[in-house]
């Protein structure tokens, strides 16, 4: 027993010292625009993607708005100013493969996925997951397209959707996150490269979990994903998003927009595991993650649920929100955010109650270690007509080390007296008693801490699909190595 534990400790020690495993650069010749942003660049992006006219108009309008907007500075984060002219706004692997089987995929790409631990074949077989792998903006391959199309589900890159279903994209794009919504949403609307488009028709329960792996690869390339998911009346879909990125010295910008639309009786479950390069111990490098995610419960009894596990990125600025428009609609937000070394996270959610008898739940778990700064920022708003709104929020923070910070900034705005809102927050370190108990049962300090942290996050992990929950736990362990003792 003790030998096995010693062995485990050794493994852990090795993990402490390990380099960021996902940090490698795939050497594929890319067709990349030179850095810089102006209307010409946007016209070129649009032309390259052979987009319909309305899309170009949409982009240009957003760009003109963006130019007039000030960069937000209210978040509890600190970073050098971004030079938006120093970023290349388009990049794709040159040999664009249109393939039917894995054998035709560029072997180097396949190798990349292998290193990341995403065996496409295996996932297809075992997890019954259709994978739309985004490699630097352009989707390389899509699997299970057929099964899905039998069910009537549309799941494709948004650039293809613009060719095949322009009317659907036009109808919904920007209705949840309009281009003028915020600085980064406007930037995304102007230059977004690609992303996923999902449409679940009326009454269809999507036959499999949908998943996309995003990967930032090109040097100096900002990644601007755009995801649009529509669940029509009575439909159900669970969508998974997982991310890793190669190690780099220069900071990379990621400004994605995700829009969810749930019609009457529909349910969308959106899960994220984010493990982008967090920068080194001194805070050098790492991804800037400025994301706008929002869903609308349009019809009665619609439900949107966000689950996120955020362990990567140098800076996370992200507030997945739900607008509860339909009566009896439900919004949920489950989050684990971990900051270590010099990582900074300012994340949370907004629940806007508009319909009658709406309810929302917020469970947020923040873990700070090293010099990490972790902030929860959330808003629960109950508008005048939202009778009997119900919200429960819980924000817990765990501090590991005396140089980290944990902050909570919840906002509650209530304009209706029938509302019932509860918010509670606690901040503490791991109790000596718990540690002692586990250690006197023979566990090492690190194993004990890991166990306690996993227990701390359990409420969120159990919302994740099974295979993601396992990955998330591993991620947490690895991200926390070196934080204890």
Partner 1 sequence: MIAADQTQSWIDGHSVLANAPAWLNKQRTDALTQFETLGLPGVRDEQWRYTNLRALKSTAYQLAERSALNTELPATNGTRLVIVDGYVDLEASSIDNIDVTLGSLSDMLGNTEVQAAFGTTLPVKQHGFMSLNTAYADDGYVLIIAPKLVLKDHIEVVFVNQASETVSHTRNLIIAGAHSQCTVVERHISAADNPTHLSNVITEIVTADNAHVDHYKIQQLGDAAFHIGGVFVNHASHAHVKSHNIALGGRIARNDVHCNLLGQGAHIEMNGLVVGSGAQHVDNHTQVNHLVPHCTSDEFYKTILDDQSRSVFRGRIVVAQDAQQTNADQQNNNLLLSPQAEADCKPQLEIYADDVKCSHGATVGQLDPKSIFYLKSRGISDEQAHTLLTFAFANEVIERVQVESIRTELTQLIAGELLSGLADLV
By the rule CB under 8 A, 425 interacts with partner 1: yes
Within 55-74, the residues that bind partner 1 by CB under 8 A are: 74
What region does 289 belong to: left with phi over 0, alpha with psi -120 to 50, or beta?
Answer: beta
Q: Which of 114, 121, 415, 445 binds partner 1 (CB under 8 A)?
A: 415
176 token code pair: 């949840």
Contact characters 74-93, partner 1, x per CB under 8 A:
x-x-----------------
Sign of CA dihedral 323, 308, 407, 372: negative
Q: Which of 426, 436, 442, 470 binds partner 1 (CB under 8 A)?
A: 426
Q: Which residue's CB is nearer to partner 1, number 260 or number 338?
A: 338
Which residue from 356, 231, 268, 367 is spatially nearest to 311, judged by alpha carbons?
A: 367
Q: Which residue's CB is nearer to partner 1, number 3 or number 402?
A: 402
From the CB of 221, what's the least distance to partner 1, in Å?
Answer: 34
From the CB of 398, what's the least distance to partner 1, in Å?
Answer: 9
From the CB of 418, what's the least distance to partner 1, in Å?
Answer: 7
* 396 in Cβ contact with 99 (< 8 Å): no
Within 356-385, the residues that bind partner 1 by CB under 8 A are: 382, 384
Contact characters 278-317, partner 1, x per CB under 8 A:
----------------------------------------
By the rule CB under 8 A, 413 interacts with partner 1: yes
Q: Which residue's CB is nearer to partner 1, number 53 or number 73?
A: 73
Which of the stretches 15-23, 89-97, 220-228, 421-429 binds partner 1 when contact is defined by CB under 8 A?
421-429
How far is Cα 42 from Cα 63, in angstroms, rounded to an integer? 8
395 token code pair: 């924000």
Q: Which residue's CB is nearer to partner 1, number 198 or number 400?
A: 400
10 Å Cβ neighbour count for 288? 23
Contact characters 155-184, partner 1, x per CB under 8 A:
------------------------------
By the rule CB under 8 A, 418 interacts with partner 1: yes
Q: Which residue's CB is nearer to partner 1, number 188 or number 391?
A: 391
From the CB of 364, what's the least distance to partner 1, in Å?
Answer: 12
Q: Which residue's CB is nearer to partner 1, number 147 or number 388?
A: 388
By the rule CB under 8 A, 424 interacts with partner 1: yes
Q: Which of 44, 115, 124, 423 binds partner 1 (CB under 8 A)?
A: 423
The 8-class DSSP code of residue 408 comes to E
Question: CB within 8 A of 440, min separation 6: which ones?
Answer: none
Q: Which residue's CB is nearer to partner 1, number 93 or number 410?
A: 410
The dihedral over CA atoms of 350, 466, 119, 482, expressed in degrees to the nearest 10, equals 70
Q: Which residue's CB is nearer to partner 1, number 12 or number 380?
A: 380
Q: Which of 417, 433, 440, 441 binds partner 1 (CB under 8 A)?
A: 417
Q: Which residue's CB is nearer to partner 1, number 367 or number 447?
A: 367
Pairing mode of beta strands 315-318, 287-297: parallel
How far is Cα 402 from Cα 253, in angstroms, rounded to an integer? 30
How far is Cα 218 from Cα 118, in angstroms, rounded to an integer? 20
Sign of CA dihedral 464, 465, 470, 474: negative
Q: Which of 429, 434, 451, 478 binds partner 1 (CB under 8 A)?
A: 429
From the CB of 336, what's the least distance to partner 1, in Å?
Answer: 18
70 token code pair: 């000030």
Within 392-411, the residues that bind partner 1 by CB under 8 A are: 397, 399-411
Question: CB within 8 A of 485, min separation 6: which ones?
Answer: 445, 446
Site size toward partner 1 (CB under 8 A) is: 36
Cα separations (Å) of 411 from 103, 379, 395, 430?
Answer: 52, 5, 12, 27
What is the chain's alpha carbon radius of gyration, rounded to the nearest angstrom?
A: 22
Q: Which residue's CB is nearer to partner 1, number 256 or number 382?
A: 382
From the CB of 392, what's the least distance to partner 1, in Å?
Answer: 10
Q: Which residue's CB is nearer to partner 1, number 153 or number 315?
A: 315
Within 312-331, the residues that bind partner 1 by CB under 8 A are: none
Q: Which of 204, 287, 322, 421 binds partner 1 (CB under 8 A)?
A: 421
* 380 in Cβ contact with 360 (< 8 Å): yes
* 306 in Cβ contact with 322 (< 8 Å): yes
Q: Which residue's CB is nearer to partner 1, number 268 or number 380?
A: 380
Q: Which residue's CB is nearer to partner 1, number 250 or number 424?
A: 424
Task: Annotate 294-363 with DSSP letters as a single string.
Answer: EEEE-STT-EEEEEEEE---SEEEE--EEEE-STT-EEEEEEEEEE-TT-EEEE--EEEE-STT-EEEEE
Pairing mode of beta strands 130-135, 138-142: antiparallel
Place of tokens 């995929």: 105
From the CB of 76, what's the least distance to partner 1, in Å?
Answer: 8
User: Which residues contact partner 1 (rule: CB under 8 A)?
Assistant: 74, 76, 382, 384, 397, 399-429
């Amino acid at each position: 027993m003790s030998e096995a534990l010693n062995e485990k400790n050794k493994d852990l020690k090795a993990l402490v010292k390990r380099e960021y495993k996902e940090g490698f650069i795939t050497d594929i010749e890319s067709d990349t625009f030179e850095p810089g942003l102006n209307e010409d660049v946007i016209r070129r992006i649009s032309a390259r993607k052979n987009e319909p006219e309305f899309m170009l108009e949409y982009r240009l309008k957003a760009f003109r708005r963006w130019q007039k907007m000030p960069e937000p500075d209210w978040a509890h984060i600190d970073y050098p100013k971004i030079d938006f002219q120093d970023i290349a706004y388009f990049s794709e692997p040159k040999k664009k493969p249109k393939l039917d089987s894995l054998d035709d995929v560029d072997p180097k790409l396949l190798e990349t996925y292998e290193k990341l631990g995403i065996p496409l074949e295996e996932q297809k077989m075992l997890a019954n997951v259709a994978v739309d792998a985004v490699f630097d903006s352009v989707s390389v391959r899509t699997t299970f397209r057929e099964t899905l199309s039998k069910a009537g589900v549309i799941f494709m890159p948004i650039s293809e959707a613009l060719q095949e279903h322009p009317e659907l994209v036009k109808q919904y794009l920007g209705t949840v996150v309009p281009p003028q919504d915020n600085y980064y949403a406007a930037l995304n609307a102007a230059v977004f490269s690609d992303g996923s488009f999902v449409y679940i028709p009326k009454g269809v329960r999507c036959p499999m979990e949908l998943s996309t792996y995003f990967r930032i690869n090109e040097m100096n390339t900002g990644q601007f994903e755009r995801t649009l998911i529509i669940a029509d009346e009575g439909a159900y879909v669970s969508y998974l998003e997982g991310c890793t990125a190669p190690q780099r010295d220069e900071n990379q910008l990621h400004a994605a927009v995700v829009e969810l639309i749930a019609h009457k009786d529909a349910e969308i479950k959106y899960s994220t595991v984010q493990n982008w390069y967090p920068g080194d111990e001194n805070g050098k490098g790492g991804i800037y993650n400025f994301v706008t995610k929002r869903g609308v419960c349009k019809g009665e009894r619609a439900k949107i649920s966000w689950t996120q596990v955020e362990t990567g990125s140098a800076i996370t600025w992200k507030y997945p929100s739900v607008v509860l428009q339909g009566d009896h609609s439900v919004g949920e937000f489950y989050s684990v955010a971990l900051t270590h070394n010099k990582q900074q996270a300012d994340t949370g959610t907004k629940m806007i109650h508009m319909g009658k008898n709406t309810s929302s739940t917020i469970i947020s778990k923040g873990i700070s270690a090293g010099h990490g700064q972790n902030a929860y920022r959330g808003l629960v708003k109950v508008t005048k007509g939202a009778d009997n709104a119900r919200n429960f929020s819980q924000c817990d923070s765990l501090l590991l080390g005396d140089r980290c910070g944990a902050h909570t900034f919840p906002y509650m705005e209530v304009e209706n007296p029938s509302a019932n809102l509860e918010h509670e927050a606690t901040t503490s370190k791991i109790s000596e008693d718990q540690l002692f108990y586990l250690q006197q049962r023979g566990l090492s300090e690190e194993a004990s801490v890991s166990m306690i942290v996993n227990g701390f996050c359990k409420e969120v992990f159990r919302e994740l699909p099974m295979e993601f929950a396992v990955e998330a736990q591993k991620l947490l362990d690895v991200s926390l190595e070196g934080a204890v003792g």
